[in-house]
Amino acid sequence: MRRLRSASLLAGLLLAALPILGAGIDTAQYLEDVKTLSSAKFKGRLSGTRELDEAAQWLAARFQEIGLRPPPGGFLQRFHVTTAAQAGRSTRLSYTLGGKTTVLKLSEEYTPLGLSSNGAASGPLVFAGYGITAPEYGYDDYAGLDVRGKVVVILRHEPQEYDDRSVFGGRVYTNHAQIESKAVNALRHGAAALILVDDAPSHRGSAGLEKLGNGIGPDAPGIPAVEIKPAIFEKWLEAAGQSFEKIIEGIDEDLRPRSFAFPAALTVDLTVDLHRETRPVYNVLAWLPGTTEEYVIACAHYDHVGLGQQYSMDPSRRGEIHPGADDNASGTAGVLALARWFAAQPPPRRGILFIAFGGEEFGLLGSNYYLRNPVLPLSNAVAVINLDMIGRMRDNKLYVGGAESSPGFKQLIAEMNRNGDGPFEIEDDDTGDYGSSDHFALATAEIPYLFFFTGLHPDYHTPRDTWDRINAAGAARVLQFVSRILEHLVQ
């Protein structure tokens, strides 16, 4: 499945012989923290709001109180998200083919991407496959291609996305599939503008055009960027004597790029004029040094969906506070509980970097930002523990993802569960069926991860996700289990 850096993370450990330790979790304190984080004063913790900034300050103060150090750069790591974007009047896109100019309809045939910079570009067009340069996989859509000053057309996603044996992530996308990575790569190769097309043959039935204004996303990397309908792209391919299906099948088959310059008879003329609003969001980080350079990341996202916005699962109650007690005050309070326990122990061999991520609900923005701007070398990170929704334990059932991400994890989980205070019924959660979380982003850096989750429920992303419905005793048992695992990972 995924290539691993730390194949021998746990090799040689005789797990059964190790003592069963594990944190003493203060259940009352835990519930108090969930209550505070999900209280009305933080207004549903929407990324980009003053209330989320206040929640960040509150978390930083807790970490400090616990006695943890700020990592290099401080407790707060700031990044920006686009909270709203509108296309201004001079936004336009037309193409000329064989002397005939066609002006495309905004929102119907094309739309600027939320991360687009403002600017104009015109001239010949180059097709650059998936727009990916991945030396680690021996794959480069830009190999032998001159795109300097030209407009590049690239596909969404990445090669071999339905292939579990893919050198790319297979069913889990790697970081190369992120539009932002593609924009940065196009810029690096000197492209003047970027046109994105849904890889439609791989996704029959999808709309093919994202809506702007759902344009909450990362900050602009510095290149004008639009998305067009696959039907337009197919017209261009026809003029070049190419087939959409054959391009995709070809790349999937041998991972050799199918990039080319379109005939000179085809040119585009594009202007993006976006009115964007951006707001800062913070990741909150705290550092517990070990006696070596290596460390484990223990994380949870602390943002939620505010008043529901476009994320509410109960549209009739949009506008009311969505408190997000389970999603994910439960995991954030869990990170605090782990921090309290480990800070009170003798220094571990490996350090622990505690992170509360912002921007998760908008698309893992905080963890993706962190990946590109780590405060400690990612090469020293041996594992990630991610907690997302651990507050609704029912029927003693615990979902654990990532057991396959490192040899030894399966055994570790089984051992720690067997010797615990009554075993959980553990279910694998590697399908992503329950939606993604920050470990998806961190897994793209090929750090082995474990993800803990007590399951979906009808109150998910609704105003009913309140603190009084949290199973605090169940969460405390999950945290004891997690702390036993973490204890072995840092020793």
303 binds Zn ion (CB under 5 A): no
CB 158 within 8 A of CB 174: yes
User: Residue 301 CB, nearest distance to Zn ion (Å)?
Assistant: 6
Coil, strand or helix: which one is 112? strand
In the complex, the smallest distance separating the C-beta of residue 309 from Zn ion, rounded to whole angstroms, is 11
Q: With respect to Zn ion, which residue has the nearer C-beta, 60 or 305?
A: 305
Residue 226 in contact with residue 215, Cβ under 8 Å? no
**Contact of 440 with 375, CB cutoff 8 Å:** no
CA distance 359 to 437: 11
Residue 78 CB, nearest distance to Zn ion (Å)? Answer: 21
DSSP E strands: which ranges in 244-396? Answer: 260-261, 266-272, 274-288, 295-301, 351-357, 381-387
Contact 145, 128 (CB under 8 A): yes
Closer residue to Zn ion, CB minimum distance, 388 or 459: 388
The pairing of strands 193-197 and 225-228 is parallel
CB nearer to Zn ion: give 303 or 487: 303
Span from 94-102, 221-229, 353-361, 468-476 in contact with Zn ion (CB under 5 A): 353-361
Q: Give the CA radius of gyration of the chain.
A: 24
Binding piece for Zn ion, criterion CB under 5 A, among 38-46, 195-203, 355-363, 478-486? 355-363
Residue 200: φ, ψ to 5° = -50, -40
* Minimum distance of Zn ion from residue 22's CB (angstroms): 25
Q: What is the phi/psi pair of residue 217, to 5°?
A: -175, -165
d(CA 316, CA 45): 20
- Which range, of 59-67, 260-268, 283-291, 354-362, touches Zn ion by CB under 5 A? 354-362
Q: Which stretch binds Zn ion (CB under 5 A): 8-16, 347-355, 388-396, 470-478?
A: 388-396
Site for Zn ion in 112-141 (CB under 5 A): none
x/- track of binding to Zn ion for residues 358-387 (CB under 5 A):
---x--------------------------
Q: Least distance in Å: CB of 187 to Zn ion?
A: 31
Output the smallest distance, CB 304 to Zn ion, in A. 6
Q: Pick the binder of Zn ion from 33, 326, 388, 438 (CB under 5 A).
A: 388
Q: How far apart are CA 461 and CA 311, in angstroms?
A: 7
Q: Environment class of residue 21 by beta-carbon count within 10 Å: exposed (0-12), middle (13-18) or buried (19+)?
A: middle
Tell me whether residue 287 or residue 362 sits nearer to Zn ion (CB atom).
362
Nearest CB to Zn ion, comparing residues 169 and 323: 323
Cα gap 443→43, rounded to integer Å: 31
Which residues, in sequence order, are CB contacts of 68 under 8 Å at separation 6+? 286, 287, 288, 339, 343, 354
**Which lies closer to Zn ion via its Cβ, residue 38 or residue 202?**
38
Query: Which residue, 359 or 474, is less far from Zn ion as judged by CB?
Result: 359
- Please state the closest distance from residue 38 (CB atom) to Zn ion, in A: 13
The two three-digit tokens of residue 97, written as one number: 């083919």
Q: How far is the CB of 277 from Zn ion (least distance, A)?
A: 22
Q: Is 228 or 482 the residue whose CB approaches Zn ion more closely? A: 482
Range list of β-strands (E), 104-207: 110-112, 119-127, 133-134, 139-140, 151-155, 193-197
Site for Zn ion in 95-114 (CB under 5 A): none
Write down the H helix ranges in 67-97. none
We find the least distance from the C-beta atom of residue 75 to Zn ion, in angstroms, to be 22
Q: Site mask, Zn ion, residues 313-332, x = CB under 5 A? A: --------------xx----
Binders of Zn ion among 49-88, rule CB under 5 A? none
Query: Checking phi first, is residue 420 left (phi over 0); if not, alpha (psi -120 to 50) or beta?
Result: beta
Task: For Zn ion, give the closer residue by CB, 140 or 327.
Answer: 327
Number of residues this chain uses to bind Zn ion (CB under 5 A): 4
Residue type, position 207, single letter: A
Place of tokens 């001079």: 90
**Cβ 466 vs Cβ 323: under 8 Å:** yes
Least Å from the CB of residue 43 to Zn ion: 16
Nearest to Zn ion of 33, 388 (CB atom): 388
Site string for Zn ion, 260-289 (x = CB under 5 A): ------------------------------
CB of 101 to Zn ion, least distance (A): 45
The nearest distance, CB 215 to Zn ion, in angstroms, is: 19
Helices (H), 93-191: 179-188
Cα 192 from Cα 152, distance rounded (Å): 8
CB of 45 to Zn ion, least distance (A): 10
**105 burial level (CB within 10 Å; 0-12, 13-18, 19+):** exposed
Nearer to Zn ion, 216 or 247 (CB): 216
Q: Which is nearer to Zn ion, 228 or 475 (CB)?
A: 475
Question: How is residue 348 written in tokens?
Answer: 């571990």
Q: Which of 388, 487 has the CB closer to Zn ion?
A: 388
What are the residues binding Zn ion (CB under 5 A)? 327-328, 361, 388
